[in-house]
Chains A and B, each alone.
Chain A
């Protein structure tokens, strides 16, 4: 076996020169990996293809500037997507107002304060929240949160009584749903801040509060911001909870206790209806889907960029 040439370096490449089966394995595995690329291509092709059919009948200008969305009106249908985007934004902003402070403080507690035994219980408990199907959150909003809001509305001055469907209940459940996303990614970022930084601050006489908010928080800021962006992206794409809780009335109201419709909820409405292939309702599905895809895609890329751009390297 010995030759004069350099010995083969098998550490990573391995001995990939065997039988046909050996060579075949490589191509089969590559094909599996390529399925993911094909999926992305297929998503883009499907959405763009459907959207082209839609925009052949509806102008871009109308779609992105008009404020009335009634695509299936028998006479004079109108295709301004803004009410749906507005509804989505209401849910997203509301959810972020809940999840960002709660998730961040939770992460600080788990990373800086919590007894290991408490953390061992609290962390998996929060992870259960992340594993609950979104349809269950929708049910929870309708059967628990909205009735409570209605009781509150009747008894608290200046608070309107929300209807069966309202944006607030949707925003609250979506907020609860994304708390674990904010807290677990932020906690990972905070835990990876080296103890030497904390000890240096303590050595200067800093209190635990000062260490947490003025040392650990800034040091892990990139991870925390990336978590916010990811969680908000999730809230934009969330479907079942907002369909059940927030309703199906596309309108640009500023009152969060009123019924609204999000982009995803509209897609469900068409998906469960009987929009026939080729109808404008069916095509609008792809135009909305493309808008949603582009929005979440940009946010996901932005989140990855924050992470790589501001990543602190610790030895």
Chain B
């Protein structure tokens, strides 16, 4: 094979080996890029395999319906028959997480959508508006544990709610608010201006237009954004840990009295995962499977809403 190169002469000369080298370089690069993409996919598969295989056999109906226990034998299905106190599980934490997310959803719905409506429909183009928007994108980058510190100082201590369901929900609300606002803004922006004009043309006021025309049109997008944000919030550990979520709580919190102590799934999983006894790894994994299942369900609902109402099909 000749190794002469094209730059020896000014005239164009087809150099087969250079083309071949370039082709090989291209193939190597493509292989590298594909391998990199596979790193993420393989990591995900390894993670799910690890969690499910550790949880296998430990995730039972009793695990879902009984309060936790300090003793690892109580979680092992093989021992269920001879336990005086009943099996160990994470029932209070499952209910706690669901209540926590319910309250967070209510707060987020009002604050997030309200703020998005102001920014998209009312806000004049001035310095204050630009400041608010820059501030929102900054808040989205604040570490979640800092929100926990905020919740601890403002809700738990200053407002004296104690380490309660309401303190946890308010903290999570502030945490996901920036994301919810940005996504709601996008949904509102997608409502065509012609619909606003048509409404004003019939003599409707601004509030009537928002209420009757813009919001109904934007609701599917807003709902999708809120559910996805809530599914992020349900897995957050650091903020509820700082606020003081309880572990080994034997009764679920009450939604009618949100000032009592609460336990939530991620915090309980953290407690189990850091225990030295090997078998607690299985218990933590079983908890993770429950958490991920709930998360998956919420995501499925969000995708269903998006597909059902997306005009592009």
* Residues of the B chain whose Cβ atoms lie less than 8 Å from the Cβ of A143: 50, 54, 281, 285
What residue in chain B is nearest A21 (Cβ atoms)? Answer: B207
Q: Is A158 part of the binding interface, using a Cβ–Cβ cutoff of 8 Å?
A: no
Indicate whether B123 reaches chain A with its CB closer than 8 angstroms.
yes
- B232 proximal to A (CB < 8 A): yes
Cα A210 to Cα B18 in complex, Å, equals 14
By a beta-carbon cutoff of 8 Å, the part of chain A in contact with chain B is: 10-11, 13-19, 21-22, 25-26, 28-37, 39-40, 42-43, 46-47, 49-50, 101-106, 108-110, 113-114, 122, 125-126, 128-129, 131-140, 142-144, 176, 179-180, 183, 207-210, 212-213, 230, 233-234, 236-240, 243-244, 264, 267-268, 271-272, 277, 285-286, 289, 292-293, 296-297, 299-301, 303-304
| Residue from the list B26, B32, B117 in contact with A105, Cβ < 8 A | B32
Residues in A whose Cβ lies below 8 Å from that of B193: 11
Q: Using CB atoms, name the residue of chain B closest to A39.
A: B174
By beta carbon, the residue of chain B nearest A285 is: B149
> Which of B36, B123, B137, B139 is packed against the most chain A CB atoms within 10 Å?
B36
> Given that A47-B149, A139-B51, A239-B145 are known contacts, is A113 also in contact with B30, CB under 8 Å in the complex?
yes
Chain B residue with Cβ nearest A289: B149
Q: Are A36 and B115 in contact (CB under 8 A)?
A: yes
A selection of 21 A-B contacts at a CB cut-off of 8 Å is: A10-B200, A30-B118, A46-B149, A47-B149, A101-B36, A106-B33, A106-B36, A113-B34, A122-B37, A133-B295, A134-B238, A136-B291, A139-B281, A140-B50, A213-B29, A267-B149, A271-B152, A292-B145, A300-B141, A303-B141, A304-B137
Flag if B149 contacts A14 (CB, 8 Å).
no
Q: CA separation between A18 and B211, bound complex, in Å? A: 14
Instruction: Knowing A26-B122, A105-B33, say if A32 contacts B114 (CB, 8 Å).
Output: yes
Asked if A14 and B40 make an inter-chain contact with CB atoms under 8 angstroms apart, the answer reads no
Closest to B177 in A: A36
When the two chains form their complex, are residues B115 and A102 in contact, meaning their CB atoms are under 8 A apart? no
Q: How many residues of B contact A (CB 8 A)?
A: 94
A238 to B43 alpha-carbon distance, docked (Å): 18
Residues of the A chain whose Cβ atoms lie less than 8 Å from the Cβ of B154: 42, 46
A292 touches B40 (CB 8 A): no
B29 touches A268 (CB 8 A): no
Contact A136 B292 (CB under 8 A): yes
Residues of the A chain whose Cβ atoms lie less than 8 Å from the Cβ of B178: 36
Does B44 count as interface, using CB distance less than 8 angstroms? yes
Q: How far is A110 from B30 in the complex, measured between Cα atoms in Å?
A: 11
CA distance A25 to B273 in the complex (A): 48
Inter-chain contact B40/A132, CB cutoff 8 Å:
no
Contact A133 B145 (CB under 8 A): no
**From A32, A140, A292, contact of B110 by CB (8 A):** A32
Chain A residues whose CB sits within 8 angstroms of the CB of B40 once the complex forms: 102, 106, 125-126, 129, 176, 179-180, 183
Instruction: Name the one of B37, B43, B241 contacting A176, with C-beta atoms under 8 angstroms.
Output: B43
Other-chain residue from B22, B144, B157, B274 in contact with A277 (beta carbon distance below 8 A)? B157
The reply to whether A37 and B135 contact each other, CB–CB distance below 8 Å, is yes
Interface residues of B in 134-154 (CB under 8 A from A): 134-139, 141-150, 152-154
Which residues does chain A contribute within 8 Å of B34, judged by CB atoms?
A: 109, 113
Instruction: Sort A-B residue pairs by CB-CB distance and give the 7 closest, nearest first.
Output: A237-B143, A133-B235, A32-B114, A105-B36, A18-B205, A109-B33, A29-B118
Does B72 have its Cβ within 8 Å of any Cβ on chain A? Answer: no
Pair A139/B269 contact, Cβ less than 8 Å:
yes
Do A11 and B197 contact each other (CB < 8 Å), given the known contacts A138-B273, A144-B50? yes
Complex Cα spacing A105 to B37, Å: 7
CA distance A240 to B46 in the complex (A): 19
Q: In the complex the two chains form, is A108's CB within 8 Å of B33's CB?
A: yes
Output the least CB separation between A274 and chain B (Å).
Answer: 11
Q: What A residues does B196 contact at CB under 8 A?
A: 10-11, 14
Contacting residues, chain A, for B150 (C-beta < 8 A): 39, 42-43, 46
Contacts of B181-239 to chain A: CB distance below 8 A: 181, 193, 196-197, 200, 203-210, 231-232, 234-238
With A36-B181, A37-B135, A140-B50 given, is the CB distance from A131 to B146 under 8 Å? no
State the main secondary structure of chain B at its contact with A.
helix
Inter-chain pairs besides A26-B122, A131-B295, A237-B142, 8 sampled, C-beta below 8 Å = A42-B150, A131-B299, A133-B234, A135-B235, A135-B237, A135-B270, A271-B241, A293-B146
Q: How far is the CB of A276 from chain B (nearest CB, A)?
A: 12
Residues of A within 8 A of B44 (CB): 125-126, 128-129
CB-based contact A131/B231 at 8 Å: yes
Cβ contact within 8 Å between B146 and A289: yes
- In the bound complex, what is the Cα–Cα distance between A300 and B55 (angstroms)? 38
Q: Is the CB of B237 within 8 A of A144?
A: no
Q: Please measure, in the bound complex, the distance between the C-alpha atom of A171 and the C-alpha atom of B178, giving whole angstroms.
A: 27
Q: Are B205 and A15 in contact (CB under 8 A)?
A: yes
Q: Is the CB of B25 closer than 8 A to any CB of chain A? A: yes
Residues of A within 8 A of B205 (CB): 14-19, 22
Q: Is B39 an interface residue (CB 8 A)?
A: yes
Which chain B residues lie closer than 8 Å to A289 at the CB level? 145-146, 149
**Would A29 and B153 be within 8 Å (CB), given that A10-B197, A126-B41 are in contact?**
no
Point out the residues of chain B lying under 8 angstroms from A49, CB to CB: 153
Residue among B23, B122, B146 making CB contact with A29, cutoff 8 Å: B122
Q: Are A132 and B235 in contact (CB under 8 A)?
A: yes
User: Is B166 engaged at the interface, CB distance under 8 Å to the other chain?
Assistant: no
How far does the alpha carbon of A259 sit from the alpha carbon of B36 in the complex, in Å? 29
Question: How far is it, in angstroms, between the C-alpha of A164 and the C-alpha of B37 when the chains are bound?
Answer: 29
Tell me the complex Cα distance, A16–B197, Å: 14
- C-alpha gap A104/B29 in the complex (Å): 12
Q: What CA separation (Å) do A50 and B54 show in the bound complex?
A: 42
